[in-house]
Structure 1
């Protein structure tokens, strides 16, 4: 798949520090360039930096369309890329659980997804990356985790703790235990005993994390935490080198992240919908307060684009700042200095939107067309 050599003219182009301007934009050898090539008139379109999606699990229906049907992982990733590209995403972090919950969230399925990702990465235009969502109480899996991440080419880990500690501390079964056990292929009683055992080892977790996080930092692995509820929790993770706060649940946690210089990621569906479906802090409120650096797709790939456009259209942020939450902001969080803005020498990661309705007309990842539709396709071919 060759990188295109084109000069786009007639469109409004989002340039760093200038906002939307009527200016030509050229791409060649996979990068934005100052050179001039075959001109394509894109009047009526917006040319914007491609979306960098920091956290998305919307790929799950593609790689496992039904329970027990988990054998077409590579084909599922191809289908995932098609959906991702159709929504203007040029860099996508696929967030995969590694959890005691089993099934689609279990270690075996995580291995299958990441191994397929290694195999398929060079066969797609979109930069597909893996994120391991690791459950902190899985102490038996700490040893060897660093090597697994190397083998899977995963450079980003986020720590979760979804154990129902309140119930378990009382020896009570959590809600939906039977359904959860059956999804994992376990006897419900055996599943409950496993949860009790994991909970009982809680006093060992902090020391084990100290060692693990030190090893991962030395290996250059990016680390974050998920669903920080308090300033204490955010500080706990910062002390261990986890500098990304994914979906903080409260203003207090977000403020702690900001004061500590950490990156704050919120879910774009939260903003589009107008609030958290779990009753947590509103993403819109955090954006308005300056407590958000990036918006991620979470479970819905169309949402980053929609959220950025909503912020600009409602005047919460100017267009460049709003779009930065889905492009330069997440690129910075991932340490990807080669993308996020349309600057000469950076990757030609571009999304073209219909100016009238804001829909994606085309996506280019590294200068390669990953999605084309309608009038834009006709203009490129013509």
Structure 2
């Protein structure tokens, strides 16, 4: 075996499939080689060809073979639920459509970022969020591994109640606290808050002003107490807690003290760097990187990467950007870029069985043609072939 070879205990005669002549991306290297799968796990990784008789083979023809992507925050199911502003489809149909779209984007482990937020203008409510959670837990026909990231709007006590209930029944393994308050975070300009809710969320000027008054009247003590409730419920359930749109180092420090482990979308570099220094996982948007900046004028993902303050990338609203992100040239080796969408997010939520191509790991694999824009040609979930879409060569 070569110096890049790894083998698990499987006998070559027991391999289920071998992907060969691929550009294999392992945690430490990218090389032309082969990967064998057996019983849902990666059984061998070698440069060159893997010798085995009577095994199914996939000729990668030099395409990139990388681990299946782990998305910790994707709210794209909302677009499948409401493909047009006045058109709603049923939750099961939306979930199946989102499943196929995510696998086509290389995502084999999906955390649906479900908003527990009372916002009829955005078609969000705790009741709808709970229905989505139930659908994810009860649907057996999905290709990817689907999980729940419960996003809790702490400006609404009923939303905190609903998230506590979801955590109590073990339906979410990741939860985040968010507070869409005018003058803070994403909406640190009050006029930006008003503009968003009038133009994007279709509130009247009177209703937008009422919402501004309601949320600005919430005390810091009230919001902090609600964060503590969510963290306590998450700790009991064994779930990981993230924060959303962190703005200042002081805010990050307070959240870390309360038990928050992931800083999602920090909006300033100071906040991102403080989260990193405190040992938190920093998570930025992949669309931000692919588009070349934040649509809100906040911290750019490329700047966070340059400052070593972006551990994980997230799909946010656009799964294809999460596939494209590792192929954006940041001046780093390909394995480092791939890890931000595979091993790093998996490790952040304790899924250490996946996100890496190495012997013994779960065989979540995607074969990617990176040019002219990255597309998935094949995908395997726990060793099962679930997707194939190859163009003529």
Normalized against structure 2, the TM-score is what?
0.84
Counterpart in the other structure of 1:125: 143
What is the 5 A alignment of 1:27-176? 27-34=37-44, 36=52, 37-102=55-120, 103-120=122-139, 122-143=140-161, 145-151=163-169, 153-165=171-183, 174-175=194-195
Q: Whole-Å Cα distance in 2 between the matches of residues 175 and 146 of structure 1?
A: 32
Maintained 8 Å contact 1:266/1:294: yes
Counterpart in the other structure of 1:21: 31
Counterpart in the other structure of 1:218: 236
Shift of 1:96: 1.6
- SS in structure 1 opposite 2:355? coil
Counterpart in the other structure of 1:328: 343
Shift of 1:115: 1.6
- SS in structure 2 opposite 1:158? strand
Maintained 8 Å contact 1:139/1:205: no
| Larger RCO (alpha carbons 8 Å, 6+ apart) | 1
Q: Whole-Å Cα distance in 2 between the matches of residues 323 and 180 of structure 1?
A: 34
- Deviation per residue, 1:14-39 (Å, 9 max, x gap): 1232x122222111222111395333
Q: Whole-Å Cα distance in 2 between the matches of residues 138 and 182 of structure 1?
A: 20
Counterpart in the other structure of 2:12: none
Maintained 8 Å contact 1:363/1:369: yes
Maintained 8 Å contact 1:331/1:339: yes
Maintained 8 Å contact 1:125/1:366: no
Paired residue for 1:361, among 377, 383, 390? 377
Indicate how the Cα distance of structure 1 residues 191 and 16 shifts in structure 2: closer, same or farther if over 3 A, else same. closer
Shift of 1:365: 1.5
Counterpart in the other structure of 1:290: 308
What is the 5 A alignment of 1:295-374? 295-311=313-329, 316-354=331-369, 356-357=371-372, 358-374=374-390
Shift of 1:180: 7.3
Q: Whole-Å Cα distance in 2 between the matches of residues 26 and 317 of structure 1?
A: 28
Normalized against structure 1, the TM-score is what?
0.86
**Residues matched between the structures, number:** 364
Identify which range, 23-32 or 270-279, moves more after superposition: 23-32
Shift of 1:176: 5.6
Shift of 1:307: 1.6
Maintained 8 Å contact 1:224/1:237: no
Q: Whole-Å Cα distance in 1 between the matches of residues 312 and 230 of structure 2?
A: 27
Q: Whole-Å Cα distance in 2 between the matches of residues 206 and 356 of structure 1?
A: 47
Maintained 8 Å contact 2:71/2:315: yes
Maintained 8 Å contact 2:113/2:148: yes
Maintained 8 Å contact 2:266/2:272: yes
Maintained 8 Å contact 1:10/1:41: yes
Q: Whole-Å Cα distance in 2 between the matches of residues 329 and 233 of structure 1?
A: 24
Q: Whole-Å Cα distance in 2 between the matches of residues 56 and 73 of structure 1?
A: 16
Shift of 1:359: 2.5
Structure 2, gaps ≥5 residues long: 1-14, 45-49
- SS in structure 1 opposite 2:194? coil
Counterpart in the other structure of 2:6: none
- SS in structure 2 opposite 1:374? coil
- Deviation per residue, 1:177-229 (Å, 9 max, x gap): 5667867xxx9757754653444332422234324422321221211111111
Maintained 8 Å contact 1:361/1:373: yes
Identify which range, 345-354 or 32-41, moves more after superposition: 32-41
Q: Whole-Å Cα distance in 1 between the matches of residues 118 and 208 of structure 2?
A: 9
- SS in structure 2 opposite 1:174? helix
Q: Whole-Å Cα distance in 1 between the matches of residues 370 and 113 of structure 2?
A: 31
- SS in structure 2 opposite 1:153? coil
